[in-house]
Amino acid sequence: MDSDDELASRLRGGDERALRAAYDRHGAAVFYLAQRLLGNRADAEDVTQLTFVAAWTGRDGYDPQRGTMLGWLLGIARRKAVDRMRSAARDDRVTETVRAHLVPPDGRETPERVVDRLVVADEMGRLPEEQRRTLELAFFDDLTHHQIAAVTGLPLGTVKSHIRRGMANLRRRWEVDGAPSGSRSVGPTRAL
């Protein structure tokens, strides 16, 4: 699997296959974000399309030093989705039928929260297998370190270090690509 650096340089060189590789890797996350934000599949498909077309047109603007490719793509997708929501709000005056699109589905979340989940999930996928499995038991099954040691057969010390390192990795990634609380209150999309 190419690193973001390699993918970015192929993309900058105008290699369409690099865009396809980015789409294969991150298209599902972009599509998920758009669906969560827009609450409607057709708009989410459009926004996914707009995002990758914009990524292609703006490929010179991606700097791997400043964040991962997923973070960059989700940033574009978020802007496209917000544009779509604004235009839906504007067009709402045109016809009643649009209203249906605008009623937020139950549990609609802030864009920041969905992005947080997607980047942390992506980082989970990059953790070494044992570290990831240990964290999943802690997160999803609410097991204590002792219980995890018992379930996995790993020594308690190993469980502790997997969880500590795993959490540190997730935190680092979240601080790079997500929206940690410090920046949460100032972003221009906050008003939404």
Binding residues with another protein: total (CB under 8 A): 59
**Using the 8-state DSSP alphabet, how is residue 58 labeled?**
T
Q: Is the CB of 75 or the CB of 165 nearer to another protein?
A: 165
The 3-state DSSP class for residue 154 equals: coil
* Residues numbered 143-172 forming contacts with another protein, rule: CB under 8 A: 144-145, 160, 163-164, 167, 170-171
Q: How far apart are the first and last CA of the chain?
A: 36
Query: Alpha carbon 84 to chain centroid distance?
Result: 19
Q: How far is the CB of 100 from another protein (least distance, A)?
A: 9
* Residues numbered 40-79 forming contacts with another protein, rule: CB under 8 A: 42, 44-45, 48-50, 52-53, 56-57
* CB contact burial 157-169 (16+ within 10 A = b; e otherwise): ebbeebbeebeeb
Q: Give 16-33 as a DSSP string.
A: HHHHHHHHHHHHHHHHHH
**List of residues contacting another protein (CB under 8 A):** 16, 19-20, 23-24, 27-32, 42, 44-45, 48-50, 52-53, 56-57, 83-84, 86-88, 91-98, 101, 116-118, 120-121, 124, 135, 138-140, 142, 144-145, 160, 163-164, 167, 170-171, 174-175, 178, 180-181
